[in-house]
Structure 1
Amino acid sequence: MSIGADRILTTHTGSLPRPRALTRLHARRARGEAVDAAELAAAAQAAVAAIVPKQIAAGIDIPNNGEQGRESFVLYLRDRLTGLGGESRRGGWQDIDAYPEFKADLQAANAGKETASMTANLPAAVGEVTYVGEAAMAAECAEFSNALAPAKGQYREAFLAAPSPGIVAAVVQNQHYESEEAYLAALATALGREYRAILDAGFILQLDCPDLALERHASYQDRPLSDFIGFCERVITAINRAIEGLPRHRIRLHVCWGNYEGPHDADVPLAYILPTILHAKVGGFVLPFANPRHAHEHRLFRKHPLAEDQILVAGVIDTLTNFVEHPEVVAERLERIAESLGDPKRLLAGTDCGFDTAAGRGRVSADVVWAKLRSMADGARLASERLRP
């Protein structure tokens, strides 16, 4: 990844708005309806081809495929893993359940939307979990490479994301292995093959790990903090096993507290989990600092500095509001974070999370997304001029 670039580079966290027709296909398929595979593949290919030049036009230096061909950032794996079946049941979020009026309003707002659900029709692990997604991953990489080809020389690097063993274990619950550790180990072995395929194709690998924060107010909400920290430690161990032997400098790790608009007043403070997260043997971290619950937590890097070869992709754009951040606001955020980090050459500008982590679930209108990304690029240029005279 680009350490010491001539300016603050821009990227984002993964998912970008999908065309409505593609969203409908993903939603139908996620509900278990029959969808023509060729129609879905063609729609996804067209969407990827369109999403790359849009990112470059918006000033993104490190683009991706927008996750256009995936129904969500994690459940696309239902076609790439064996041993899945039955049903998993996700509980509620602690902060949403604490506000019944808000919860009712939220449910009403989402009623009737054409989306790929992250809480319904979830499979479980009912047998041995292995990876059988080689052909699908190779096709996804080739599709992205083809979309990038016309833009050669207009971007610095490109990335693809894949979920961590921890978030898969949280969503696709264990009904087969004798222990959580055994399940995480099996997932690490399986997912490690996808991680390697992304790197072998020449892309940066982003590990999506919302579990390392989100699960505190989800599956661990009624348990002691120490139990949750133990879960984080087990997940980091699984991640390090999965990426053993892979080039650390080509891997970045994303953590967030859930990509939904809500109170978030039950979020675990970053201070409690950052020391564990920093044990991941990766080249950088992607963390949200734009949203009003965690914007102050960049100061933790004064006490817990990154290794000299690591970068920070700082979220300076909120992915849950249609406000378009002013470039000066973006620049000020980057300047404050650079001061905490101690080295602006290892700072990149990014978004707090994806804009459409499950098809149709995005809160920000597509045209506003591109305006927000353009503003981020403008703000990064301002901050670069001030921090690197």
Structure 2
Amino acid sequence: MHNTDFIQVSHAGSLPRTPELLAANAAQAENPGDTAAFEDLLAGSVKDIVAKQREAGVTLPNDGEYGHTMSNSVDYGAWWNYSFARLGGLSQGGVDRWQMTEEIRSEPGHIRLTTMRDRRDRVRFNEAYNDPNSFILTGRKPVAQPTVTGPITYIGQEAVQRDVVNLKAALAANGYETGFLPALSPGSASRLLNEYYQDEEELVFACADAMREEYKAIIDAGLTVQIDDPSIAENWDMINPEPSLEDYLKFTQVRVEALNHAIRGLPQEQIRFHLCWGSWHGPHTTDIPFKDIAQTMLSINAGSYSFEAGNVRHEHEWKVWRELDLPEEKTIAPGVVSHATNVVEHPELVADRIENFASIVGRERVIASTDCGLGGRVHPQIAWAKLEALSEGARLATQRLWA
């Protein structure tokens, strides 16, 4: 993943779905037995989205997460929801997780995640979140929260192989040598109602054993797996009241150990880890500072680390890297354009952000990326303008760094 003579360009995974694919997703949900036409449309759509990435200047592309069903043009949860159909042991149904009212409070020394309605950012800005005209959650469809009622297993073999085949065909058709596929982390996969396992640790490690099959299938195909993991940073906001940092890091360490268990023995150079504070459009004043979890992130056995660095809540944190020791063989993929605003970043600003990181870790180890997925979070026209600005900023940074 190291650069040679230019700044490589990638993104955090999700890209805007076409109206045709969204309609096909909805039809599949109502009639899952009719698959032939859907599979043809999906394969063609992946080829098209890889071609669009090439046109936009992306050098490390993916399938846009098109194999992960998106319920609507506005959808903050497709990165997670896709796993509900790939994990055995879940009972589907229940209520929308944003409408759950059962209060789950943490206690000193014993941390538990609260409901979405009781997370601290939402409580602090309750009026904004409950305003029907608010931009924060406008347009999203309800998503039912599954319950763990049996042993967690991996049942998504056909689905992940379909994603692999579609992406490899699209890469070949567009002149790329390789690309990446995102997959859910054990810590995030385990954020479910649990009626089967004795404790959270047992559930998290069961998810690790199951999701390892998906990671391995992607890597064995010669692709890079990007492990999407808001559970390392975003869980901080989902603990109410706010815990001590010591208790939180202890709580998080279980998720780190489970992930390292899931990727044991797999080549680090084909593993990219994506750290996320949550992609919803909200104030984010209760985000954990990057400095408090940076070392925890680096203890994950990945070859590259993707993280938010372009939105106004986290842009200043590039300076934290002055105090960190990034192993020579590893790279970083900081977000230098953001999903959190409709404003399209100026290429000069993008280049400045890239150069900030390069001044610390070296030009060979900075991949220009996005804060989070753009699909389902900003309008498609804006999303593609952001990717073009990202690529242009990377070109400007290249000119300066290799002058």
Q: Fold-level match, TM-score > 0.5?
A: yes
Report how far residue 221 of structure 1 moved: 4.8
Residue aligned with 1:206, SS: strand
Contact 2:120/2:239 (8 A) holds in 1: no
- 1:280-291 to 2 correspondence within 5 Å? 280-291=300-311
Contact 1:129/1:190 (8 A) holds in 2: yes
Report how far residue 261 of structure 1 moved: 1.4
1:139 maps to amino acid: R
Distance change >3 Å, CA 224–CA 4, structure 1 → 2:
same
- 1:284-299 to 2 correspondence within 5 Å? 284-299=304-319
2:59 maps to amino acid: D
Report how far residue 112 of structure 1 moved: 7.7
Distance change >3 Å, CA 128–CA 105, structure 1 → 2:
same
The alignment status of 1:129 with 2:152, answered yes or no, reads yes
Distance change >3 Å, CA 375–CA 106, structure 1 → 2:
farther
- 1:303-382 to 2 correspondence within 5 Å? 303-341=323-361, 343-356=362-375, 362-382=376-396
Residue aligned with 2:88, SS: coil
Contact 1:26/1:116 (8 A) holds in 2: no
Alpha-carbon distance in 1 for matches of 2:283, 2:26:
27
Report how far residue 219 of structure 1 moved: 4.0
2:6 corresponds to: 7
Contact 2:168/2:178 (8 A) holds in 1: no
1:192 corresponds to: 212
2:111 corresponds to: none
- 1:215-230 to 2 correspondence within 5 Å? 215-219=235-239, 221-230=241-250
Alpha-carbon distance in 2 for matches of 1:347, 1:221:
37
1:308 maps to amino acid: E
Alpha-carbon distance in 1 for matches of 2:241, 2:18:
36
Alpha-carbon distance in 2 for matches of 1:36, 1:134:
18
2:44 corresponds to: 46
Q: Over aligned residue pairs, what C-alpha RMSD do you find? A: 2.1
Match of residue 168, structure 2, among 113, 127, 145: 145
Report how far residue 355 of structure 1 moved: 1.1
Distance change >3 Å, CA 20–CA 231, structure 1 → 2:
farther
2:122 corresponds to: 96
Alpha-carbon distance in 2 for matches of 1:106, 1:260:
16
TM-score (ref. length: structure 1): 0.90
Contact 2:16/2:374 (8 A) holds in 1: yes
Alpha-carbon distance in 1 for matches of 2:300, 2:138:
40
Contact 1:27/1:116 (8 A) holds in 2: no
Identify unmatched segments of 5+ residues in structure 1: 357-361
Alpha-carbon distance in 1 for matches of 2:325, 2:133:
41
1:6 maps to amino acid: D
Contact 2:86/2:156 (8 A) holds in 1: yes
Alpha-carbon distance in 2 for matches of 1:8, 1:184:
36
Distance change >3 Å, CA 131–CA 376, structure 1 → 2:
same
Match of residue 160, structure 1, among 172, 175, 181: 181
Aligned length: 374
Report how far residue 284 of structure 1 moved: 1.1
Report how far residue 33 of structure 1 moved: 4.2
Alpha-carbon distance in 2 for matches of 1:219, 1:94:
7
Measured against aligned partners, the alpha-carbon deviations of 1:325-356 in whole angstroms (never above 9, x if no partner) come to 11101001111121232x11100100000012
Identify unmatched segments of 5+ residues in structure 2: 70-77, 101-114
Report how far residue 22 of structure 1 moved: 2.4
Distance change >3 Å, CA 177–CA 64, structure 1 → 2:
same
After superposing the two structures, state which structure 1 stretch, 289-298 or 87-96, moved more. 87-96
Distance change >3 Å, CA 355–CA 296, structure 1 → 2:
same
Alpha-carbon distance in 1 for matches of 2:177, 2:337:
21
Report how far residue 116 of structure 1 moved: 5.2
Match of residue 75, structure 1, among 75, 81, 86: 81
Contact 2:129/2:136 (8 A) holds in 1: no
2:275 corresponds to: 255
Contact 1:63/1:159 (8 A) holds in 2: yes
2:387 maps to amino acid: L
Report how far residue 259 of structure 1 moved: 0.5
Report how far residue 107 of structure 1 moved: 6.2
Distance change >3 Å, CA 131–CA 220, structure 1 → 2:
farther
Residue aligned with 1:306, SS: coil
Alpha-carbon distance in 2 for matches of 1:37, 1:288:
39
Residue aligned with 1:122, SS: coil
Alpha-carbon distance in 2 for matches of 1:248, 1:111:
36
TM-score (ref. length: structure 2): 0.87
Distance change >3 Å, CA 111–CA 234, structure 1 → 2:
closer
Distance change >3 Å, CA 24–CA 108, structure 1 → 2:
farther
Report how far residue 109 of structure 1 moved: 4.8
Contact 2:374/2:383 (8 A) holds in 1: yes
Report how far residue 41 of structure 1 moved: 3.1
Residue aligned with 1:129, SS: strand
Residue aligned with 1:73, SS: helix
